[in-house]
């Protein structure tokens, strides 16, 4: 039995790896090949191309890489047409995967898309493309299945893999000991993103906010898990330029330990925001895209939601202050972080709500996703 997979960037690579392991638990002889990162390679996937190829953000930016992406997609179609997998699974990266899935489905290959494209939030016209491209959508958020069901798309809620990994009770003291941080001090986690484009836009804002917050007595300790080694020089340059390098500890990875250790987290709105909520951390989020992308989104009315930070869609009231585009300023970010640091009762209330959220999402996603994919083979 053979499975084709295409994952984009780090989060998709981790999802793909979990799916591979869960399928192999059920079908030990299963083979896997596709666009993969290090986690999928370690899980046993044969790499046809690197997942980093798809790590392009925005509406305008991918145009520079379009010839390379189209060439890759064409090569994958040719490869899997000659040697079809039993099921193809596109892991996130919908702008790339939906077109690939449609062409594979047209030649009779069963297709699944893991992580439902956020058509409920923006570019809702894509639901027609999804219906033509995939046999099944694997949703990681509970309300998504209802949306897809309403539009006649087969969808399964599998839970969220990150929720499965996060303990119900987070040991903050142990995380601080592991990181060599004072157990009694105040810790702010800084996560400016996993892409160079995110770090270049948000890094200077976060560094300037650190400069403001460093004036508190006593000053918090700031800790940043560096997502990729190539981002470390960029972050160091940004911190040096603002004169705050001595206040910020840069770590190679270890983002989960940083989240567990933090009193408050300041981050780039994205997958890290939900992860921070699962770790029950009070959070402040910022989000910026390029000016042309922002102009297009506003001009075309593509965004259909009031909040862009995922936890705010999953709790009864929005609990994560978010600052988008021009609204994301160092002063506003610092003020929001300081407000949480100064209000331990508010922090405790937020943590309790996030604990309930984690319980709703922890369903054993790898296993549920594997069952949903293997069910397509049986069909």
- Whole-model pTM? 0.78
What CATH architecture is 2-159+363-378? 3-Layer(aba) Sandwich (3.40)
Pairwise CA distance, residues 170 & 10, whole Å: 24
Pairwise CA distance, residues 186 & 363, whole Å: 33
Residue 323 to residues 174, 187, 338, 344, Cα–Cα distance (Å): 31, 21, 15, 22
pLDDT confidence of residue 57 = 44
Q: Alpha-carbon dihedral of residues 203, 204, 208, 210, nearest 10 degrees?
A: 20
β-sheet with 322-324: strand ranges across: 248-252, 221-226, 187-191, 264-268, 283-287, 322-324
The answer to whether 257 touches 185, Cβ cutoff 8 Å, is no
Cis peptide before 218 (omega within 30 of 0): yes
Q: State the CATH class of domain 172-361.
A: alpha beta
Query: CA 282: distance to chain centroid?
Result: 18
Asked if domains 2-159+363-378 and 172-361 share a fold, the reply is yes
Q: Where are the domains of the chain?
A: 2-159+363-378, 172-361
The answer to whether 128 touches 98, Cβ cutoff 8 Å, is no
- What values do phi and psi take at 79, rounded to 5? -60, -50
Angle of helix 271-278 relative to helix 344-361, nearest 10 degrees, comes to 100
3-class DSSP state for residue 144? helix
Q: pLDDT truncated to tens, each residue of the chain (379 aa)? A: 999 999 987 888 999 999 999 999 999 999 999 999 999 999 999 999 988 777 654 444 555 567 888 899 999 999 999 999 999 999 988 889 999 999 999 999 999 999 988 766 556 667 888 999 999 999 999 888 988 999 899 999 999 998 999 999 999 999 999 999 988 889 999 999 888 888 999 999 999 999 999 988 888 999 999 988 889 999 999 999 999 999 999 999 899 999 999 999 999 988 899 999 999 999 999 988 655 655 555 555 555 556 778 899 899 999 999 998 888 999 999 999 999 999 999 999 999 999 999 999 999 999 999 999 999 997 6
């Amino acid at each position: 039995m053979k499975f084709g997979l295409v994952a984009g960037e780090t989060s998709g690579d981790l999802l793909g790896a979990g799916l591979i392991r869960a399928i192999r638990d059920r079908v030990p002889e299963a083979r896997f090949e596709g666009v993969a990162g290090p986690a999928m390679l370690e899980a046993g996937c044969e790499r046809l191309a690197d997942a980093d190829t798809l790590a392009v953000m925005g509406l305008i930016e991918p145009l520079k890489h379009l010839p390379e992406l189209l060439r890759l997609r064409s090569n994958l179609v040719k490869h899997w047409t000659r040697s079809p997998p039993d099921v193809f699974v596109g892991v996130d990266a919908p702008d790339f995967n939906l077109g690939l899935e449609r062409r594979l489905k047209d030649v009779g290959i069963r297709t699944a898309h893991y992580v439902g494209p956020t058509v409920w939030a923006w570019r809702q016209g894509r639901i027609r493309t999804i219906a033509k491209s995939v046999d099944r959508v694997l949703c990681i958020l509970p309300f998504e299945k209802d949306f897809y069901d309403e539009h006649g798309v087969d969808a399964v809620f599998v839970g969220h893999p990150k929720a499965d990994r996060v303990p119900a009770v987070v040991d903050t003291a142990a995380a601080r000991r592991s990181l060599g941080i004072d157990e009694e001090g105040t810790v702010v986690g800084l996560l400016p993103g996993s892409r160079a484009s995110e770090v270049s836009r948000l890094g200077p804002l976060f560094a300037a906010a650190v400069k403001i917050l460093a004036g508190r007595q006593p000053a918090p300790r700031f800790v940043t898990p560096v997502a990729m080694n190539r981002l470390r020089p960029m972050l160091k340059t940004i911190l040096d330029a603002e004169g705050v390098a001595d206040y910020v500890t840069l770590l190679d990875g270890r983002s989960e330990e940083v989240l567990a250790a933090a009193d408050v987290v300041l981050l780039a709105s994205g997958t890290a925001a939900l992860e921070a909520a699962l770790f029950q951390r009070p959070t402040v989020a910022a989000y910026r895209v390029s000016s042309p992308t922002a102009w297009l989104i506003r001009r075309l009315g593509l965004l259909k939601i009031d909040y862009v930070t995922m936890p705010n869609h999953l709790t009864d009231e929005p609990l994560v202050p978010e600052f988008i585009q021009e609204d994301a300023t160092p002063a506003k970010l610092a003020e929001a972080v300081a407000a949480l640091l100064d209000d331990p009762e508010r922090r405790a209330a937020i943590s309790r709500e996030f604990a309930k959220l984690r319980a709703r999402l922890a369903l054993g996603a790898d296993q549920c996703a594997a069952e949903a994919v293997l069910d397509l083979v049986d069909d």
